[in-house]
A and B are shown apart, each in its own frame.
Chain A
């Protein structure tokens, strides 16, 4: 019958329309449940979720997964004066758009030290690829997840220097807990192996 295909199709849109009321915008919850409640978000963005899919940004925000990356950050353990970074330069060389600039620190006698005295990232050029964090051999540069960084001053706020970039290790551990755990475990294993080797050598002597 001519027109049947059309009606069949409209039944789908009708179902979606009804579902959006039954499933998430329940009329009986309009005045009792906060419409920006994050539970609501989790429920209807689930894989078997139905109904309206969009969320009310910025009142509601999606939880980002652990691997989510935005801009790089530099990690320090004790004080910001002693970052983990050794100024080895691998991140600056691997960075595809070449937006990392590293200046190596020198000691009193002018010899290069394994520490940066300046570290800049041109955040406008950074393409958030994550290579710097991936290839850093000292786990010194990691990806931050702070992604709401609008600004009106490109040179002041988007050309990041060490003050912008340095974060304590606890902050990193909170953002990437399982990566952090894995790295710590690897470090512990390495130290353990070193200690054992040292003990063995001591025994032999």
Chain B
């Protein structure tokens, strides 16, 4: 199923003669200079109100900025429109911003600026996002090379047969670490100007209710027990009330995407485990689905069932853990979290037995899964599923009616779904505000179409509803798991064809998305027909959900801002990549 591209093209060309410069496969190339007005038209007249993905790609003679828009109108949900604009000038690359039309472009355009050096005219806050302000160059450009650079693509020629006679030495011995650090020209840490405008610690005094007060800027993090990992928030406070909040991310950045472009296609699977390390199974799922779509590969039935079973177990675990962490932040120190971890152990035992590792599973393969499971495994899995079912009830008894929790969470962080859509928020947070939008339903992948499950929704999108949403979704996952465990074929192949180590993917580009426990996890892949991706981009739901954090937190107490952060459910491994 795909969108009727011809009709869209015709409509756009009538409204804006010459707007569609070219058609490239499933992508429309739009006129760069008129982008804002075309984008407004797309949003208001054609119903594409949901911009989920913005990124770019570097080709030798030009740069492309790519956009994927979807619609939340019930009749238009499903496949969306993919379009791009072409930037011919690599030195002074400029594109008009669409942040004013879709706020979700904010962080993603900053990321494109950071990684590709494409300037977005009119962007309200165009700073680097993942790297520090003094960084030299834009790393995802093809002519940028990292420290320890060896070759553009793996496998590196020097590994086999090892060319020199002396024993190879560890990377640190071969290159002393100082030898490969690049500083900006004339860099002197003593008098270096950051070039970014950080707010002053104290603002001028103001008088409120006859009292002189000073607004204070407070750094929460990057090393702070109440932020999930290495995450920093610059919070402007008036008394204890948040007046503005800037998330500062990138402390865990490791240029996952550049590594991904060096890797072989299947070499990326273990790397995706390191994105959202709370539910690695689903990251792999998203990646292999994307590659299989490029290959047009079918997956054997038993493998599909195993994939769904692993994926949904990961979802239940993710939701229970999130609830546990959230209560940690509310001050219910440890009890719900340890209960959640206990349940996670049982699931990890299952994962370990099937894949060989508790967290970095590397279980999915392009065209199948790594290993078959035994009947004992399935029997144990059934037991774990019914245990999880009971434990979700127990969580509800423990937490749902708790008056302290209700008074701390009702109305906190509430936001309407229309606004969330504009911010690009996806996943349980969006559904808890009342929009029934689940990619397993609107754009089914794998065998989700054959399962009977509902997409629960709640009304207000506050912290309490997000909690209830996660409980309800975990229940639906249990429902899917029960059906899958009943229907899984007793035998059968688990791999389509041979498990080849050097898969070749035909020419093309695509954006593919799945419903990750945290939201829409997408992969934007470009292949030049070789054994390595030409471009590999992760649309991180964690990062993009963070864009709405400020709007959700302003007006609430600082202590509530922490709870709101927890309820968005981020994993820094994926935010920073």
In the complex, the answer to whether A92 meets B159 with C-beta atoms within 8 Å is: yes
In the complex, the answer to whether B360 meets A5 with C-beta atoms within 8 Å is: no
In the complex, the answer to whether A135 meets B401 with C-beta atoms within 8 Å is: no
**What residue of chain B has the Cβ atom nearest to residue A132's Cβ?**
B501
In the complex, the answer to whether B401 meets A4 with C-beta atoms within 8 Å is: yes
In the complex, the answer to whether A3 meets B159 with C-beta atoms within 8 Å is: no
Given the complex of chains A and B, what is the CA–CA distance between A130 and B361 in angstroms? 10
Residue-wise interface mask of A (123-140) relative to B, using a CB-CB cutoff of 8 A (1 in contact, 0 not): 011011111001100000
Given the complex of chains A and B, what is the CA–CA distance between A127 and B360 in angstroms? 9
In the complex, the answer to whether A5 meets B406 with C-beta atoms within 8 Å is: yes
In the complex, the answer to whether A96 meets B263 with C-beta atoms within 8 Å is: yes
In the complex, the answer to whether A89 meets B355 with C-beta atoms within 8 Å is: no
- Size of the B side of the interface (Cβ < 8 Å), in residues, is 57
Given the complex of chains A and B, what is the CA–CA distance between A65 and B380 in angstroms? 14
**Closest CB of chain A to B33's CB: distance in Å?**
42
Q: How many A-B residue pairs have CB under 8 A?
A: 143
**A74-120 interface (Cβ within 8 A of B):** 87, 89-90, 92-96, 98, 100-104, 112, 118, 120
The answer to whether A8 has its CB under 8 Å from any CB of chain B is: yes
Q: Which of A47, A98, A125 sits near B380, CB closer than 8 Å?
A: A47
The answer to whether A170 has its CB under 8 Å from any CB of chain B is: no
Chain A neighbourhood of B556, CB < 8 A: none
Given the complex of chains A and B, what is the CA–CA distance between A4 and B170 in angstroms? 62
The answer to whether B362 has its CB under 8 Å from any CB of chain A is: yes
In the complex, the answer to whether A96 meets B159 with C-beta atoms within 8 Å is: no
The answer to whether A68 has its CB under 8 Å from any CB of chain B is: yes
The answer to whether A2 has its CB under 8 Å from any CB of chain B is: yes
Given the complex of chains A and B, what is the CA–CA distance between A161 and B166 in angstroms? 13
In the complex, the answer to whether A68 meets B352 with C-beta atoms within 8 Å is: yes
- Size of the A side of the interface (Cβ < 8 Å), in residues, is 54
The answer to whether A167 has its CB under 8 Å from any CB of chain B is: no
Chain A neighbourhood of B380, CB < 8 A: 47
Chain B neighbourhood of A66, CB < 8 A: 353
Most central of A11, A100, A101, A135 by chain B CB within 10 Å: A101
The answer to whether A53 has its CB under 8 Å from any CB of chain B is: yes
Chain A neighbourhood of B192, CB < 8 A: none
**A1-25 interface (Cβ within 8 A of B):** 2-6, 8-9, 11-13, 16
**What residue of chain A has the Cβ atom nearest to residue B346's Cβ?**
A47
Interchain residue pairs with CB less than 8 A apart (29): A5-B401, A6-B401, A6-B403, A6-B404, A9-B402, A16-B339, A45-B345, A47-B384, A65-B353, A67-B353, A68-B357, A69-B357, A92-B160, A93-B155, A94-B264, A96-B264, A101-B162, A102-B160, A102-B162, A112-B161, A118-B162, A127-B270, A129-B360, A130-B356, A131-B362, A135-B501, A143-B356, A154-B170, A155-B170
A-B pairs, 9 with minimum CB distance:
A5-B401, A89-B160, A93-B155, A96-B267, A67-B356, A129-B270, A92-B160, A103-B162, A104-B161
